[in-house]
């Protein structure tokens, strides 16, 4: 659809690509559009500290996930090499991925085992045990309603969460790209909130993730205007060695000409992600750009979790972003000595080169989980 300029002082909802209806459920793909408030300024890249090392988790599943084949990116012949990658690592619960989105189905049987739990907070005692101003923030926080229960009233956040970290081998539904992980749920968006409020909630959610030990932040939203507040918060994440994976946007635009933020911020700890179809070409609405968009990943008719213990398909750069977040978590889980910028470098250097992407995407290819892990193995052996 054509790019639509929005009021500079509004942060509004943009509908993602398509409505897919299956016999199971349906998913309406949301693009969390934002409009921001300051002209662009750039700051130099900062040194990223190294993360703590992790021992990879290798688990033989007790049961098969019955719907695994419904997700084309999780099949044995998938171009991202996920089954071979799982032989090297399936994640680690010490990896914390913050998902800044519309919340999640807190009771979903394929997700709840992987929710992060705030180690500084005592559940349900009505006290602010960690003295951060939030009472009983066990799983994260709902910045829309200012509560400790970030329920998903839309579906987008639950879908993204499942792609990243649905439980593997539990005999239910599907698996996430990184099936052993801790998922910090941060709800910032509501369609009836004001533009300014959604932006404020975004910044607060980033601050929470930074303060509470996130290693990776997934942000599947964005907009066409620059925000100094948002930019500066991602700089803080960079200083802590936190990787931010951001959607390229769904306007069919060249982001080198029409920027899409936060994906277009010129910061070393951001990976910006375009969406691919099954044939390896870009989803028709995906933004692109050889300077500002780093990599492409599967984002067409992706099968994942939805509210009310359901499953369904969604399409867009949001889904592609979640795929890259999952791969980044896998890589960090096996090679936790690597800083965020190095993980980004490894993912970009490990792509499957594609002629269709050569003049569209900075890396010229689509992500490959197996190659990223193998390249990281070589990197650590030669560095540490």
> Which CATH number fits the domain that encloses residue 170?
3.40.50.200
How far is the C-alpha of 181 from the C-alpha of 371, rounded, in Å? 20
Tokens 């620059």, located at residue: 226
| pLDDT for 187 | 98
83 catalytic residue (yes or no): no
Residue 25 lies in a domain: no
What's the pLDDT score for residue 380?
60
Active site residue: 156, 159, 215, 231, which one? 156
Tell me the torsion sign for CA atoms 196, 201, 202, 208.
Answer: positive
Q: pTM of this prediction?
A: 0.86
Contact assessment for residue 296 and residue 367, using Cβ atoms and an 8 Å cutoff: yes
Q: Find out whether 80 and 298 touch, Cβ atoms under 8 Å.
A: yes
Strand spans (E) along 11-70: 14-21, 26-33
Domain presence at residue 69: yes
* Residue 253 is assigned to a structural domain of this protein: yes
Please state, in angstroms and rounded to a whole number, the distance separating the CA atoms of residues 176 and 79: 16
In a domain, 5, yes or no: no
Direct distance between the N- and C-terminal alpha carbons of the chain, in angstroms, rounded to an integer: 48
Task: Count Cβ atoms within 10 A of the Cβ of residue 32 and give its class: 0-12 exposed, 13-18 middle, 19 or more buried.
Answer: buried
Annotation says 318 is catalytic? yes
Q: Give the sign of the dihedral formed by CA 244, CA 304, CA 174, CA 205.
A: positive
| pLDDT mean by block of 10 residues, the chain; 384 residues | 28 35 35 36 28 48 80 91 94 95 98 97 93 95 97 97 96 96 96 85 97 96 91 96 97 97 97 96 97 98 97 97 97 79 93 95 97 80 54
Which of helix, strand or coil describes residue 42? coil
Contact call for residues 152 and 104 (beta carbons, < 8 A): yes
The domain of 112 spans 48-383
Nearest CA among 160, 150, 217 for reference residue 186:
150
Q: Which two tokens stand for residue 356?
A: 């269709």
Distance CA 373, CA 369 (A): 6
One of 318, 333, 350, 363 is an active-site residue; which one? 318
Measured between alpha carbons, how far is 287 from 253 in angstroms, rounded to an integer? 5
| Number of C-beta neighbours around residue 333 at 10 A | 25
Q: Is residue 111 part of a domain?
A: yes
Query: d(Cα 110, Cα 71) in Å, to the nearest integer?
Result: 15
How many structural domains compose the chain?
1
Per-residue model confidence (pLDDT) at position 57: 54
Report yes or no on 3 lying in a domain: no
Q: Report strand pairing: 26-33 vs 14-21.
A: antiparallel
| Nearest CA among 76, 46, 99 for reference residue 245 | 99
91 within some domain: yes
Looking at the domain assignment, is residue 239 inside a domain?
A: yes
Per-residue tokens: 33: 């559009």
Exactly one of 101, 105, 142, 294 is catalytic; name it: 101
Q: What's the chain's Rg over C-alpha atoms?
A: 19
Among the listed residues 296, 239, 299, 297, the one whose alpha carbon sits nearest the alpha carbon of residue 269: 239
Question: Does residue 144 contact residue 193 with C-beta atoms inside 8 Å?
Answer: yes
**What is the enclosing helix (H) or strand (E) of 213?**
none
């Amino acid at each position: 659809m054509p790019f639509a300029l929005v009021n500079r002082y509004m942060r509004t909802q943009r509908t993602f690509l398509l409505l897919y209806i299956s016999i199971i459920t349906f998913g309406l793909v949301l693009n969390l559009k934002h409009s921001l408030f300051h002209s662009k300024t750039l700051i130099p890249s900062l040194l990223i500290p190294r993360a703590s090392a992790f021992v990879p988790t290798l688990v033989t599943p007790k049961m098969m996930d019955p719907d695994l084949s419904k997700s084309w990116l999780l099949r044995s012949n998938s171009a991202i090499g996920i089954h071979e990658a799982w032989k090297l690592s399936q994640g680690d619960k010490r990896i914390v991925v913050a998902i800044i989105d519309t919340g999640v189905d807190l009771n979903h049987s394929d997700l709840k085992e992987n929710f992060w739990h705030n180690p500084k907070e005592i559940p349900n005692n009505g006290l602010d045990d960690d003295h951060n101003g939030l009472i009983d923030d066990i799983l994260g926080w709902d910045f829309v309603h200012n509560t400790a229960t970030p329920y998903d009233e839309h579906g987008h956040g639950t879908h993204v969460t499942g792609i990243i970290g649905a439980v593997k081998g539990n005999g239910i539904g599907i698996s996430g790209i990184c099936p052993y992980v801790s998922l910090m749920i941060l709800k910032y968006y509501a369609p009836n909130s004001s533009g300014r409020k959604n932006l404020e909630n975004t910044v607060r959610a980033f601050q929470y993730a930074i303060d509470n030990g996130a290693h990776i932040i997934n942000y599947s939203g964005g907009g066409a205007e620059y925000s100094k507040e948002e930019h500066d918060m991602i700089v803080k994440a960079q200083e802590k060695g936190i990787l931010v994976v951001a959607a390229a946007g769904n306007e069919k635009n060249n982001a080198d000409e029409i920027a899409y933020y936060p994906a277009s911020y010129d910061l070393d700890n951001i990976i910006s992600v375009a969406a691919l179809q099954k044939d390896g070409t870009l989803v028709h609405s995906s933004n692109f750009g050889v300077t500002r968009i780093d990599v492409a990943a599967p984002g067409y008719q992706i099968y994942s979790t939805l509210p009310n213990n359901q499953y369904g398909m969604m399409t867009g750069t949001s889904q592609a972003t979640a795929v890259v977040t999952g791969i980044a978590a896998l890589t960090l889980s096996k090679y936790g000595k690597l800083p965020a910028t190095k993980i980004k470098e490894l993912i970009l250097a490990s792509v499957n080169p594609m002629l269709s992407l050569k003049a569209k995407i900075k890396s010229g290819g689509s992500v490959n989980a197996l190659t990223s892990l193998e390249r990281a193995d070589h990197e650590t052996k030669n560095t540490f």
